[in-house]
Structure 1
């Protein structure tokens, strides 16, 4: 099955859809901007946020619009507005199954699996042909469990959040689509964000969502391969192209197909 190619860079920046004065600046600072009609906008401001999207246009190739959940009374109005704009990439909040995507066939969809139902349905959602990526979210997930905190006091995710992250990553890999890592809410915790981004890049996530412009540079740095790793990846792929063997030695290490796929991933991150 062919899915839309995930075409955005690694740093995706959320911007409230009722703040059109910030749209262009957010798009300039990040690889793509997520114009948020859901959590960032109060119910009584939803209409004005839709009007802002209609009247303030930025490059649609660098815009994702987060719409309200299928279970909410707001999605129909969101989609009626979107049909009048050039934006065709939608992030569906709190996606809980394939039925939630009915009505979104004309859009490239990034499904946000951030509830217990959504995480358990991640594989089926990722299989839909117009889905290009899944993102997971910790805070709504824990709320859906009746819990109160996604992290331990030292900043580490609790096991259920780590499981959800892994479930979403496995579902995306199994279906050949991209995975987006969750936001890091503690803006001042630069070291914590850097560690999570490094881990996300090592596990093949395509991007990390940001809630503040100061996080963008850290995310980009984390996804950019170190020069020595990039040199190794290019060299080992060149050696593979010149070798007739399926398995060969390179710089004292045995190289096989999984190692070559890892090298290809490093090249993609550099690009």
Structure 2
């Protein structure tokens, strides 16, 4: 299986608590996909009911725009979650605390977004991405820092600590090496729209295909940030058109030498524009 950006919804993927069925359809309509969350959003005493609610609702929701986040392997709910999503025919599943390819494959035939958020999961990212069940990789800064015994993923100026930056880059590289999409993690400050927009634009520029959102107010800024600006789209279209007329693999366009890496960047801009 060779998943591409076109195989996944995006760029704004919105979490929705699985024990709030009144929000399911709203989340699907609001974002590019809804992540019905059986893990962090649901208290332990409500998890069995939430699982039943999700599996009952899947038949009435667009299966290509719904992702079910199950509970992590080793938890009391893992086996029941696996059985439920398989029986319900869920097409997209998010696996938290992903560390072993065999856990992704246990969820087959669903395609799995592997959430790397432990030290073992970050180091296993290349093997997770290589799994035939892997649809994409994403990562989580706060769970990673907790796993490391730390207290915060960010410095006082708001930037990530080096270990979080390394984990993010490692996941992005592992996804690209396996030809899988990479999804940027959540942005926790709901009031900082400017920060969300800047962070999302940088993620798109670096190669991330989509972003996880924790509130509906984040959807539009993420979409706008991932959409290339008209100037970039015009440049990319010009480069691709010029390449078709170029007598060799290296050519001049608007005073700049264009070779294969820049041509691939132009094509990536056009893919984002279509998305």
Aligned to 2:182: 179
Aligned to 2:218: 215
Moved more, 189-198 or 51-60: 51-60
The answer on whether the counterparts of 2:104 and 2:134 sit within 8 Å (CA) in structure 1 is no
The answer on whether the counterparts of 1:3 and 1:177 sit within 8 Å (CA) in structure 2 is yes
Shift, 1:85, TM fit: 2.0
* Whole-Å separation in 2 of the counterparts to 1:45 and 1:105: 25
* Whole-Å separation in 2 of the counterparts to 1:215 and 1:138: 18
Aligned to 1:10: 11
List gaps (5 residues or longer) in structure 1.
none
The answer on whether the counterparts of 1:3 and 1:129 sit within 8 Å (CA) in structure 2 is no
Shift, 1:86, TM fit: 3.7
Q: TM-score, normalised by structure 1?
A: 0.97
The answer on whether the counterparts of 1:6 and 1:178 sit within 8 Å (CA) in structure 2 is no
Aligned to 2:41: 40
* Whole-Å separation in 2 of the counterparts to 1:23 and 1:77: 21
- Over the aligned positions, Cα root-mean-square deviation in angstroms equals 1.2
Paired residue secondary structure (1:84) = helix
* Whole-Å separation in 2 of the counterparts to 1:240 and 1:175: 27
The answer on whether the counterparts of 2:105 and 2:131 sit within 8 Å (CA) in structure 1 is no
Count residues with an aligned counterpart: 271
Shift, 1:175, TM fit: 0.6
Shift, 1:246, TM fit: 0.9
Matches within 5 A, 1:70-149: 70-149=73-152
* Whole-Å separation in 2 of the counterparts to 1:31 and 1:270: 15
**Structure whose residues are more often helix by fraction:** 2
Structure 1 runs (4+) deviating above 4 angstroms are none
Q: TM-score, normalised by structure 2?
A: 0.96
The answer on whether the counterparts of 1:6 and 1:133 sit within 8 Å (CA) in structure 2 is no
List gaps (5 residues or longer) in structure 2.
none
The answer on whether the counterparts of 2:86 and 2:110 sit within 8 Å (CA) in structure 1 is no
Paired residue secondary structure (2:55) = helix
* Whole-Å separation in 2 of the counterparts to 1:18 and 1:63: 15
Superimposed CA distance per residue, residues 226-250 of structure 1 (whole angstroms, 9 cap, x where no aligned partner): 0010011011100001112110111
Aligned to 1:159: 162
The equivalent position to 2:269 in structure 1, one of 261, 266, 271, is: 266
* Whole-Å separation in 1 of the counterparts to 2:80 and 2:104: 15
The answer on whether the counterparts of 1:6 and 1:177 sit within 8 Å (CA) in structure 2 is no
